[in-house]
Amino acid sequence: MFVRNLLRENDLHRMRLLADLIDVTMFLVDRIFMKKLAAAWLCLFSASVWAETTPKNIIFVISDGMGPAYTTGYRYFADDPATKEVEETVFDRLYVGSASTYPAPVSGYVTDSAAAATALSSGVKSYNGAIGVDADKQPVQTLLEKAKAAGYKTGVAVTSQINHATPAAFLTHNESRRNYNAIADSIFDQRVNGQFTADVMLGGGWLYFQRKDRDIVQQFKDAGYTYVDKIDQLPSVKQGSPLLGLFAEIGLPWALDYPQKRRLLPLAEAAVHQLENDKGFVLMIEASQVDWAGHANDVAAAMVEMADLSDTLEWLEAYVDSHPDTLLVVTADHSTGGLTLARDGEYIWSPEFIHTLDQSPKTIADELGKIDDAKKRAASAEKLLKVELTKDEKESLEAITAKDDKAFYAWVKHYIDLKTHTGWTTDGHTAVDVPVLAKGVAASKFAGNQDNTDLAKKLGSFIQ
């Protein structure tokens, strides 16, 4: 009506006012439309950026005890002496930075596996021995618990028992890592919104999960989990099934004692295969026995454990290439043993001798301990080690008269150390920073030096 009246009066001034009114109206309409359009584009762009910078799947690999000397040592162990160059390893390709490992102040600068795993699983520093609890012994949310609450599938695959320090600190909570039975109980008893923390659990631990007082394996089976106790059964498990696999009484045998010298790779492959789904998954894999080899000062076992890990990482590297929505992060909880690649002032490290071994030093030592006759024992050592012992070496072995596994194991390890020119500073942990490797979505966020708690915080920020 207002516009019609203006037109009838034929008033030039009012016509100009009308034109101005129309211009203002169109300007406001245009601004409102453009704001809405811009907001819509911003939402679409933000969603696109989030999808491109946020992983659907997270695979967190922890090589227990793997300090820098281990990745360097493996490079030389894996080197082809027939070539002029020292070949690059998967550890070299994926390396992006390092992480500090110190625990809560009450425990000083040198961490144990429990405190380190709690830091890596929750982003919270705690005391040595703590399993998923803070310095006041209060439970802290772990990466797997957060993922499970958000609807992801979750799992662990390790070569230790699954209630050992590292997997336990991702699965549950306890004031002491030594409470193995209680930790095993809580892996079944504890729930996240009525669900088990992990859909897939692979490792060792019959001793703790099939006890006289409680058969936790049977309880998981009754709850719908598929149970297997042999690694070669894994490929036959129906995809997507909740899965419990226990393959040893405690930890798995040394990789050197497997015919194919590998067992972490099939565990990792099976876990990934079982966890794949539309929402995504979070998987923690632990090369547990790099640490055990370091504690034992056993360089032969250590290098073959590293080889097992290397094969696993190469498979995971290819998996990320074919699944670009996946993030792979690799680190260690600490370094073990103070491994040195040379000793006694000589500029030599010779890992090639390790390639000749068909069994672990511990298994060789056990075989020697079964032989009463000292002369026959020396002959057996030559056969098992594929060497010709010197007169002094034979006499040192023959001098061991007691049925003492530790004594024979110490002799075999010392022989290999001298043969390879390997040194050790401790049978415990050290406080050095550890490597960080990454590949896939948001891998660049893990570059540079950081604290171990930062790894957990960054990984946790991707879970929505």
Q: How confident is the model at residue 23 (pLDDT cuts 50, 70, 90)?
A: low
Residue with tokens 């004594």: 407
Instruction: Report phi then psi at 274, rounded to 5.
Output: -75, -30
Closest CA to 335 of 97, 74, 77, 100: 100
Query: What does the alpha-carbon distance between residue 422 and residue 415 come to, in Å, rounded to a whole number?
Result: 10
Residue with tokens 């006694």: 344
Residue 190 corresponds to which tokens in the numbers above? 């504890």
- pLDDT tens for residues 247-279? 999 999 999 999 999 999 999 999 999 999 999
Query: What does the alpha-carbon distance between residue 173 and residue 106 come to, in Å, rounded to a whole number?
Result: 19
Q: How confident is the model at residue 31 (pLDDT cuts 50, 70, 90)?
A: low
Of 298 and 41, more confident: 298
Residue 458 corresponds to which tokens in the numbers above? 């960054």
- Eight-class DSSP state of 210: B
Query: What does the alpha-carbon distance between residue 111 and residue 291 come to, in Å, rounded to a whole number?
Result: 13
Residue with tokens 């050197």: 256
**With pLDDT > 70 as the criterion, what percentage of the chain qualifies?**
89
Mean of pLDDT values over 457-461: 98
Query: Quick one: CA torsion of 16, 19, 25, 28, rounded to 10 degrees?
Result: -90
CA distances for 292 relative to 119, 267, 335, 402, angstroms:
20, 19, 11, 25
How far is Cα of residue 426 from the mean position of the Cα atoms in its chain?
24
Residues with a known catalytic role: 113
Look at residue 464 and tell me whether its pLDDT is greater than 80.
yes
Look at residue 46 and tell me whether its pLDDT is greater than 50.
no
Residue 396 corresponds to which tokens in the numbers above? 């040192």
CA distances for 374 relative to 118, 361, 365, 393, 397, angstroms:
48, 19, 14, 12, 8
Query: What does the alpha-carbon distance between residue 183 and residue 190 come to, in Å, rounded to a whole number?
Result: 10
- Parallel, antiparallel or unpaired: strands 281-287 and 57-63: parallel
Q: Name every residue whose Cβ is closer than 8 Å to that of residue 362 and which is 6 or more positions away in sequence.
A: 254, 296, 298, 301, 409
Closest CA to 198 of 162, 234, 160, 232: 162
CA distances for 274 relative to 202, 225, 265, 310, angstroms:
11, 12, 14, 22
Query: How many residues comprise the chain?
Result: 464
- pLDDT tens for residues 347-358? 999 999 999 999
| Contact assessment for residue 303 and residue 77, using Cβ atoms and an 8 Å cutoff | yes
Closest CA to 334 of 128, 54, 27: 128
Residue 289: per-residue pLDDT: 98
Residue 29: per-residue pLDDT: 43
Residue 257 CB-density burial (10 A; 0-12 exposed, 13-18 middle, 19+ buried):
middle
The pTM assigned to this predicted structure is 0.89
CA distances for 431 relative to 70, 336, 381, angstroms:
15, 9, 36
Residue 169: per-residue pLDDT: 98
CA distances for 186 relative to 143, 165, 170, 203, 219, angstroms:
17, 14, 12, 17, 12
Query: What does the alpha-carbon distance between residue 91 and residue 174 come to, in Å, rounded to a whole number?
Result: 33
- pLDDT tens for residues 132-147? 999 999 999 999 999 9
